[in-house]
């Protein structure tokens, strides 16, 4: 079962052909990504929209932003209901913060997307104080992503891997979001 689940989950993570470094003339190395996309800022704040369940397009930002530590079904590779649900879940979180996010960049991925931890600040209608929410943790907690490449957490958040793994386990056990599909409990 574990091997089958791993194979299924790895299939969710394949990059879109239109976004591969080879199609941009690069290899996905930091130098090639910087040459193609410009210098990677340490942080970025602005308006963003969901491209998939783990990827954002920032208004005025050339590279796409991939949320650190998670993978979700990609619209380009896996068009269908799971990818649409994952993208919609992330977009709903962005809407709750009026699409305003703050990201701390940790590097480049193999598709020359900026890998980052991003937060959205949500104001609740009850009048309570606005609270920042880590987008990756929320997506994984809701069951629309799984942990990915957790071996090297960002230097400013050494507990990031443990948090992602913790929320993934809770979500999987509760069969939230896409977990019933991923575990083969119902047809995709």
The confidence score (pLDDT) of residue 172 equals 95
pLDDT higher than 50, residue 64: yes
What is the per-residue pLDDT across 149-169, written as a single tens digit (0 to 9) for each? 999 999 999 999 999 999 999
The mean per-residue pLDDT over the stretch 117-131 comes to 77
The SS3 of residue 84 is: helix
pLDDT higher than 70, residue 22: no
Residue owning tokens 């397009």? 57
pTM to 2 decimal places: 0.80
**Nearest Cα residue to 56 out of 157, 149, 135:** 135
Percent of the chain scoring above 90 in pLDDT: 61
> Based on C-alpha coordinates, what's the Rg of the chain?
16
- Max Cα–Cα distance, the chain, nearest Å: 50
- Sign of the torsion angle spanned by Cα atoms 107, 108, 110, 115: positive
Which of the pair, 47 or 19, is modelled with greater confidence? 47
Architecture of the CATH domain 2-12+26-182: Beta Barrel (2.40)
The confidence score (pLDDT) of residue 142 equals 96
pLDDT higher than 70, residue 133: yes
Q: Which range (18-32, 101-115, 129-143) has the least confidence? A: 18-32
The confidence score (pLDDT) of residue 69 equals 96
């Amino acid at each position: 079962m574990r091997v089958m689940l791993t194979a299924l989950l790895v299939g969710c993570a394949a990059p879109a052909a239109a976004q591969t470094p080879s199609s941009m003339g690069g290899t996905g190395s930091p130098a090639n990504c910087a040459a193609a996309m410009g210098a990677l800022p340490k942080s970025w704040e602005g308006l963003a929209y969901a491209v998939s369940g783990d990827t954002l397009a920032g208004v005025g930002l050339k590279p796409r932003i991939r949320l650190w530590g998670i993978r979700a079904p990609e619209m380009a590779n896996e068009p269908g209901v799971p990818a649409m649900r994952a993208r919609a879940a992330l977009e709903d979180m962005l809407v709750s913060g009026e699409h305003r996010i703050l990201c701390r960049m940790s590097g480049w991925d193999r598709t020359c997307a900026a890998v980052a931890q991003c937060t959205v600040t949500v104001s609740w209608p009850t009048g309570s104080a606005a609270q920042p929410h880590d987008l990756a943790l929320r997506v994984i907690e809701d069951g629309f992503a799984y942990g990915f490449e957790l071996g090297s957490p960002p230097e400013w958040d050494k507990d990031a891997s443990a948090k992602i793994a913790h929320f993934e386990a809770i979500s999987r056990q509760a069969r939230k979001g896409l977990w019933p599909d991923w575990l083969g409990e119902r047809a995709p």
